[in-house]
Structure 1
Amino acid sequence: MKRAWFALSLALALHVADEAANDFLGFYNPFVMMLRDVTLIQWLPTFEFGPWLAGLIAAVVVLLALGRFVTERGLAWLAIPLGALMLLNGCGHIGMSLYTQRLIPGVLSSPVLAACSVWLLARAIAKLRR
């Protein structure tokens, strides 16, 4: 499971770089504002580039640091929601690109993120079944 954890951490780093390089917030923030206007979904946040990027970099660093402890059974429970969330993230980018019929920022790295998520989920589930 350790290799799958590191692979997902590096895939997330690649995904963050893809989003940052392609102005993800230029797509995300207006989309969230539109959702707030037409639905009752008021809790979705908007972000400024600096804090958004710093938070994502910190998350990747924490994931890489936790990778040392992945051999313990307790982190398998953390790997399942992490893998599921990253799978939804990757599939969300792909789905939104299909819906809008254009490449949204972050979609180029999304297949890698989704594949690594499935790998981590499979390894974590196998570890918990032992």
Structure 2
Amino acid sequence: MSVSEYPSTEQRFAGGTSMAAAIIMVTVGVIQFFQGIAAVAENDVFVVGVDYVYKFDLTTWGWIHLVLGALVAIVGLALFTGAGWARVSAIIVAAISILANFLWLPYYPVWSLVIIALDVVVIWAVSTWNPEKV
């Protein structure tokens, strides 16, 4: 094997990070799903603050997080295969998750920022990883 046939350090890092991204997506999806259940159940878990431009009913947000959490977890599981459609789906779903969590900021700010940061890592890892070069 010549030196040029070995994967670059960036590709090895992106490949490892993509597998970590799959784990992150499954974990975030499950937690978002449970967060949605908490919002639908209308527990006293969430404190609704001042009026917000993107304010929805807490039950509506709960259903959004239920569906989004299930979708993120399913795409995260599919990402383990490294298939092209799973990688494209992961980027799209992570972008939607960023948007949803930005709008969710007034309800759960710290967790929303953590998920946004993790989604950015997922998008970077999946977009730079080329499975054929590993």
TM-score after normalising by structure 2? 0.55
Sort the Cα spacing of 1:54 and 1:92 in 2 relative to 1 into closer, same or farther, 3 A: closer
Deviations 1:46-97 (A, max 9, x none): 86x7x8787556435523431331x233422222111111111111212xx1
Matched ranges for 1:4-23 at <5 A: 4-22=21-39, 23=42
Matched ranges for 1:90-129 at <5 A: 90-94=101-105, 97=106, 104=107, 106-127=108-129
**Number of positions where the alignment pairs a residue of Structure 1 with one of Structure 2:** 103
Q: Which has the higher helix share?
A: 1
Aligned Cα root-mean-square deviation (Å): 3.6
TM-score after normalising by structure 1? 0.56
In the other structure, the counterpart of 2:71 is 59
Unaligned runs of 5+ in 1: 34-45, 98-103
Measured in 2, the distance between the counterparts of 1:83 and 1:52 equals 14
Measured in 2, the distance between the counterparts of 1:108 and 1:18 equals 13
Unaligned runs of 5+ in 2: 1-17, 49-54
Matched ranges for 1:70-109 at <5 A: 71-94=82-105, 97=106, 104=107, 106-109=108-111
The structure with the largest alpha-carbon Rg is 2
The percent identity for this pair of structures is 14
Sort the Cα spacing of 1:9 and 1:107 in 2 relative to 1 into closer, same or farther, 3 A: farther
Q: Aligned letter for 2:91?
A: I
Task: Compare relative contact order (CA 8 Å, sep 6+) and give the higher one, 1 or 2.
Answer: 1
